[in-house]
Amino acid sequence: MIFAIAALALGAKPATVVTVDPSHRLIEGVATDGTAIYVSSVLDRQILACVKTCQTIATLPEGLHPLGIAFDWGRKLLWIAADCPEIAGIAKCDRGALIAINRSGKIRGRFAPSKQSFHPGDVFASQSGIFVSDSQNGLVWALLPRRPDLRAVNRAGDGKSAQGTALAPSGVELIVADYVR
């Protein structure tokens, strides 16, 4: 179930905006473009677009399961941190991917660092770039404007399990949640 919590700031009661059918298993990420609410179904490898009801708009390639998602207002793309999480029934893999899809579910890009394992878990989109955290080694990767590949924005050892990220108002500093630190 997805609630509209913006109503809390206005003193109104939260309301259910859409309910995801329980056949979609393990809903993880949520994002919106202002019209639709997008959710990731980890076990089904699907991205759903929900307005009044939910429709599957994309099924990720075999071996990739969608975790965190973020809508990129500037580029009009949905960014997906896709990996093979340690969940029963999901095969282990050496690398996940950062995937970009358009509103109709067509894949517009697939990115991963070229020379090392990559296990993305969360993603944040801004005008400054797309930031994706690696939950297994603490690195945060960035896809920056006018750069064709992912680049680490911190050093190995700065963290152990990078999670959510947010850009500070200055646009220069990135705030990173890390389970271990």
Taking residues 137-164, what's their average pLDDT?
85
In this prediction, residue 59 carries a pLDDT of 97
| pTM for the whole structure | 0.89
* Residues 67-113 pLDDT 10s: 999 999 999 999 999 999 888 888 888 789 999 999 999 999 999 99
- Asked if 47 and 105 touch (Cβ cutoff 8 Å), the reply is yes
Distances (CA, A) of 169 to 6, 50, 165, 172: 21, 30, 13, 8
Q: Which residues pair with 159 in a beta bridge?
A: none
Has residue 47 got a pLDDT over 70? yes
For each of the domains in the chain, give its residue range(s) and CATH number, in order of start.
26-178 (2.130.10.10)
**Residue 9: helix, strand or coil by DSSP?**
helix
- Mean pLDDT estimate for the chain: 87
- Asked if 50 and 37 touch (Cβ cutoff 8 Å), the reply is yes
